[in-house]
Structure 1
Amino acid sequence: IVTNPDGYSFTHTDNRMWRKTRSVNPGSSCRGTDPNRNWDAGFGGGGSSNNPCTETYRGPSAHSEPEVKAIVDFVKSHGKIKAFVSIHSYSQMLLYPYGYTYTAAKDKAELHEIARKAIT
């Protein structure tokens, strides 16, 4: 499932390294919001920007992007989801929660083991 179809299409027509949505930002000539920084978890924290012209622009509020809101609504309407995999960038890394804090996830050992198995 492509959850950012406008941004995905833009990478094939204009800018191969584009990472944001294509939404209009009122008061700015710069388009898009970084969907990775539009979630409510750690919204507005380190690594995000309030400047619409940056690649890490978080948007005006958490879940303001319809692409992010659609995923939130899907997850909430389907009960307990055991895994959620997002393939969204060009690097060869496997990332797991949480990127907005240095505090380790409570299930870090389990996440690390799953990540290890996924890459071997």
Structure 2
Amino acid sequence: MNPIALDDALASFDALWSPRIVTHVNDYDVRVSKVEGEYVWHVHDDTDEFFLVLDGELHIALRDPDRTVVLGRGDVFTVPRGMFHKPSAPHGAKLLLFEPTGTLTVGDRHDEIPAHVDATTGHAL
């Protein structure tokens, strides 16, 4: 019931590709994440995935159609459910994500998960 400063939330952790849940809206998590390098190809079968770039630049490779969306600070993009995608941030980025509570960061189907990736449903802030 108190305001949440996103800069403070992001400063509270260092782990990459490991989102923190800052609040809930109905049955959705509002998550922040620090990302750098490449993630894994994955798909969410039953939900869209919303990205807002708070800082840096995010690339989202898409399959079918085969293209890459490049997002800068303040840009938003929604990956439609059922579309394979692979986020990456060559120079690092800070993101706000909006997803149904319990959504796995690696989706429902994904490539092999690298050891450094914390594939969870988000951590409490």
Q: TM-score range by the shorter chain?
A: under 0.3
More helix by share: 1
More strand by share: 2
User: Normalising by the residue count of structure 1, what TM-score does the alignment of the two structures yield?
Assistant: 0.27
User: Normalising by the residue count of structure 2, what TM-score does the alignment of the two structures yield?
Assistant: 0.27
Larger radius of gyration between Structure 1 and Structure 2: 1
Structure with more contact order per residue of length (Cα contacts < 8 Å, sep ≥ 6): 2
